[in-house]
C-alpha cells in the first residue's frame, strides 16, 4: 500500500469518528461551536461555518469570530438569526 492510499484511508476513518458537533448559545450575544470543520465566510454581519453534518449561518451586527480550542470557534456580537443547512 502506498502512502497516498494510506493517507486517504486515514482521512476517511477520521471523518467517521468525529460525527457530532454542538452549539452553546448564550442569549443573543455568543455562540460556542464545537466540532467546527471549516470557516466558510466571516464578516461583521454574517459568519458561515461547516460542522460535521451541517452548515451554520449566523447573521447579526458586529460579529466577531475567535478560536475556541482545537476544533471550535466562538462567535460574539449581536446575533439576529441562526440557519442550519444539511451538508451532503
Question: Would you put residue 4 in left (φ > 0), alpha (ψ -120 to 50) or beta?
Answer: alpha
Q: What is the pTM of this model?
A: 0.75
- Averaged over successive runs of 10 residues, the pLDDT of the chain (88 residues) comes to 77 64 91 89 94 91 87 92 90
pLDDT tens digits, one per residue of 14-38: 665 556 788 999 999 999 998 888 8
Q: Which residues contact 67 (CB under 8 A, 6 or more apart)?
A: 73, 74
Task: Give, in order, the Cα–Cα distances in Å from 28 to each of 9, 59, 65, 75.
Answer: 41, 11, 15, 10
Amino acid at each position: 500500500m502506498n502512502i497516498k492510499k494510506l493517507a486517504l484511508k486515514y482521512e476517511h476513518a477520521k471523518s467517521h469518528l468525529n460525527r457530532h458537533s454542538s452549539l452553546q448559545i448564550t442569549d443573543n450575544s455568543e455562540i460556542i461551536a464545537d466540532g467546527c470543520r471549516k470557516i466558510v465566510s466571516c464578516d461583521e454581519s454574517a459568519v458561515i461555518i461547516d460542522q460535521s453534518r451541517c452548515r451554520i449561518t449566523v447573521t447579526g451586527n458586529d460579529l466577531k469570530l475567535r478560536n475556541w480550542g482545537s476544533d471550535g470557534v466562538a462567535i460574539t456580537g449581536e446575533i439576529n438569526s441562526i440557519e442550519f443547512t444539511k451538508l451532503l
